[in-house]
Amino acid sequence: MLDVLTAPAAPAIKRRQDYRPPAWLVPNVDLDFALDPGATRVRARLEVTRNGGAGEPLRLDGDGLTPLAVIVDGVAVNDWRLEDDQLVIPLTGASHVIETEVEIAPDQNTQLMGLYSSGGNLCTQCEAEGFRRITYFPDRPDVLATYRVRMTADKARYPVLLANGDPIASGDNDDGTHWAEWHDPFPKPSYLFALVAGDLACNAGTFTTRSGREVQLGIWVRAADLAKTDHALHALKTSMAWDERVYGREYDLDVFNIVAVDDFNFGAMENKGLNIFNSRYILADPDTATDYDYDAIAAVVAHEYFHNWSGNRITCRDWFQLSLKEGFTVFRDQGFSADQGSAAVKRIEDVRGLRASQFPEDAGPLAHPVRPESYLEISNFYTSTIYNKGAELIRMMATILGPARFRTACDLYFDRFDGTAATCEDFVTCMEEGGGVDLSRFRLWYSQAGTPRVSASLEHDGGRATLRLAQQVPPTPGQSAKEPMVLPLRIRLFGAETGQPLGPEQLVLLEEANESIVFDGVAERPVLSINRGFSAPVTIESDRTAADLAFLARHDDDPFARYEAMQQLMLDTLIAGAVEGQADHRAVIDAVADTLDDPALDPAFVAEAVLLPSESFIGDQLSTVDPEAIYRAREALRGDLGRALAERWRNIYEANTSGAAYAYTPAGKGARRIRNVALGYIAASGASDAAALAFRQFEQADNMTDRQGALSTLVNGDSDLREAALDIFYNRYSGNGLVLDKWFQTQALSTRDDTLEAVAALAEHPSFTLANPNRARSLIGAFAVNQRAFNRADGAGYRFLADQLIALDRLNPQTAAKLLPPLGRWRRFDPARGALMRAELERIVATPGLSKDLFEQASKSLQ
Ligand code: ARG
Ligand code: ZN
């Protein structure tokens, strides 16, 4: 077993319990940048004041910096020292002015943390610990400073100079450079600092806040992309109005800018007044972006905007509290998206996402609580647990409080902690006080990792129904014994004969390991609808029969529960197929037919409900994943559904092929979704004209949703039209990086037998590069979640991933570490595959010069 202390550079473990308030505060900071891609000079002037702790020297974080000058109260000093990467300056008084100067090289910065170049422009990413790669500073979120920033740069190359807050002054020098000064009046932590220098065009707009302040909005991109920014600008305005209406939160500066860059480690960043985005979450037009991309752009624009209150006005005391801002902000952006279209479909998509990434994380070696206890590298904790399970915790509290009291409690939180760096505990306390509830036991959700399992059985005897519930939280690394948690379960019973509800929905708070709930006056045999709306992020095991599930799929009045019943029915069938080699498909076929035939249902909902669970999700239900058996069982059911309902799929396909031009509307999205699902089933049926049908759609499409949908269908098959479509697609979009990502990704997700060989060849393609995170994720990341291709029995998939991660780690440790988790699933597979996965993890850990990012993920994955 690997000891974390044998790490190459013996990186220090940080612990939540070790939190101490900062010894020094920095009320004000002035930064002066002489910007140059090869050598940027950064001069910093910090006003520092002692915060208790007499005698403590000032400790400033740095990463890869060398001090060129250290000046204290106007006098150059030399009694400073470097301890690891910290600049330590002995100081005697209660307040001082510290000046430092460093030089950095943005164009050498392949980590994309700190100041770096992307597409010829300069930009920053500071969360979590990137600011220390720019200048010496107490780089921790509880040190809040007001920033004044001056930038000087070549005017021809960098005509636009942006930073946080409001522009103050600007001018030209006579040496071809120009300068600009920005001031941000809101004290902020260093991770929210940002600047951009570049040749950018602006899609400008305005928003008038409810108190009448006019805000200048700008979406900044390269000039050629300007036509693709209207959707993002519209989403921004919609988000600003939504946060006023739903949470009473108004924007607070005169300017709100967003800049899109092509090289970005994550989705986007909420820097105060100057959000910086991965261009994939800004740029859209019908020819290049799918409906899914349009949705994601609106969601991420909203997410980053909402951070202005949940993150910026109230930030985190320390990084263990990360979910305070991320879980809450994800919950807020989910609410926003639910209000833009179908709330039911949004909930289905979010739960599908949670099950695809957070549940496996919580069941594997990297499981951690929503408020972690320790870390080596904080970047590794920007996880689905912190974000998505964190959002589920907020949702459960909102469910327990109800909408009115939840709003009161949020108001209390925003009011009480405005301008401070707060904790998860502060948030829960506001929920209790504002909501008038006791959440003492609920707090376990922040400290206990693992997905709770609830078993439910319903007995009916005379006029009485008894629901027996039992909960169990599985052990996770470092947490062997678990306590029962507080689970808000929305429950309703339906009469098996009449199909009618037996009484209203109830909210049951399951708090003990075992509880029984009695329903009186139940004359008919009841069928249980439980965890409606996915009110708690748990796994339900029930004794409901296939007939009960089919009944709920038809009669449940909660759309999520209806979807869920269908999924459970499919899952039971697929598991039987995978384990026994065959299964009876009739119940699923009948339920899918009923769903397709129900005229009252929204096509977007139907499309979700008739899709089979993914291969990975089926694997997650089994004690040992057999990727080949799962694939065969799923293809068999897909084929039977395709053939048995062939006429329906054809009718749906035709009925949803309108001659009308593309429109990003709920009706348009729903039609495209169900049509592409139908195309998939027509192909699965083995129909001889399926490839021709897909190719016709591919050629005639006036939008990327239909074009990519058709391409995916072709890429899974072996018709001659496959290569033709791939070539046409590549040539048509060879100048568009975001669309080329789709070209790589579609091939990496193919169900064909030769996918690994194809992916390995694509890794050598002239358009492939590990230096761009989107491109790396589109090929390597997508391949690693293609369960059957990645888990090939000969281990070649594991070897390929490890090779790529070792190469990527030298350029960009954060992105490499993010792609490692599929190798850590070795316990879930047979011993032969498990040994092959471990061997690759060991090879990674033994690699000289490994980053602590990849070291932490690989070494923990071996445990
Ligand atoms: N705060 C950003 C967001 O959620 C993400 C920043 C990710 N940074 C990181 N080092 N992991 O919108
Ligand atoms: Zn966020």
> SS3 sequence, 85-126?
CEEEECCCCCEEEEEEEEEECHHHCCCCCEEEEECCEEEEEC
Please name which ligand lies nearest the alpha carbon of 275.
Answer: 1
Q: Could you give the residue numbers annotated as active site?
A: 304
305 CA distance to ligand 2 centroid (A)? 9
For residue 459, the 8-state DSSP code is: E
Q: At what angle do helices 322-340 and 291-306 cross, to 10 degrees?
A: 130
Q: Which atom of ligand 1 is nearest to the CA of 329?
A: 4
pLDDT at 11 over 80: no
Which pTM value belongs to this model?
Answer: 0.98
* Beta pairing, strands 539-542 & 453-461: parallel
Task: Give, using CA atoms, the residue closest to atom 5 of ligand 1.
Answer: 269
Residue 649 in contact with residue 593, Cβ under 8 Å?
no
| Cβ-based neighbour number of residue 483 at 10 Å | 10
Residue 346 in contact with residue 299, Cβ under 8 Å?
no
Specify the 3-state DSSP secondary structure of 220: strand
Report the distance separating Cα 417 and Cα 761, nearest Å: 53
Mean of pLDDT over the chain: 97
Report the distance separating Cα 156 and Cα 179, nearest Å: 12
Task: Give, using CA atoms, the residue closest to atom 2 of ligand 1.
Answer: 269
| pLDDT score for 7 | 45
| Mutate which of 382, 777, 851 for ligand 1 pocket (most atoms within 8 A of beta carbon) | 382
pLDDT in tens, 718-738: 999 999 999 999 999 999 999
Q: Is the CB of 853 under 6 A from ligand 1?
A: no
Average pLDDT score over residue span 130-151: 99
pLDDT at 749 over 60: yes
Closest CA to 363 of 16, 751, 625: 625
Report the distance separating Cα 454 and Cα 460, nearest Å: 20
Residue 858 in contact with residue 845, Cβ under 8 Å?
yes
Closest CA to 583 of 552, 612, 554, 623: 612
**In the chain, pLDDT over 90 holds for what percent of residues?**
98
Q: Is the CB of 60 under 6 A from ligand 1?
A: no
Q: Which residue has the tokens 């994800």?
A: 330
| Cβ-based neighbour number of residue 43 at 10 Å | 18
pLDDT in tens, 403-423: 999 999 999 999 999 999 999
Q: Which residue has the tokens 């902690």?
A: 417
- Calculate ∠ Cα 566-694-660, nearest 5°: 85
Its ipTM equals: 0.98
Residue 543 in contact with residue 497, Cβ under 8 Å?
no
140 CA distance to ligand 1 centroid (A)? 15
Specify the 3-state DSSP secondary structure of 70: strand
pLDDT at 192 over 80: yes
Q: Which atom of ligand 1 is nearest to the CA of 387?
A: 4
Closest CA to 555 of 497, 480, 516: 497
Q: Is the CB of 636 under 6 A from ligand 1?
A: no
Backbone angles phi, psi at 821, to 5 degrees: -50, -35
59 forms beta bridges with 88
Structural tokens at position 696: 């016709």
Q: Is the CB of 127 under 6 A from ligand 1?
A: yes
Q: Which residue has the tokens 């979450």?
A: 281
Q: Is the CB of 128 under 6 A from ligand 1?
A: yes
* Beta pairing, strands 81-83 & 86-89: antiparallel
Q: Which atom of ligand 1 is nearest to the CA of 311?
A: 1
Average pLDDT score over residue span 802-810: 99
Structural tokens at position 629: 């058996």
269 CA distance to ligand 2 centroid (A)? 7
304 CA distance to ligand 1 centroid (A)? 10
| pLDDT score for 10 | 61
Average pLDDT score over residue span 762-775: 98
pLDDT in tens, 450-505: 999 999 999 999 999 999 999 999 999 999 999 999 999 999 999 999 999 999 99
Please name which ligand lies nearest the alpha carbon of 330.
Answer: 2
Indicate the length of the chain as a whole number: 863
| Cβ-based neighbour number of residue 676 at 10 Å | 23
Neighbours of ion ligand 2 (CB under 5 A): 326, 329
Structural tokens at position 846: 């033994």
Report the distance separating Cα 450 and Cα 352, nearest Å: 17
pLDDT at 9 over 60: no
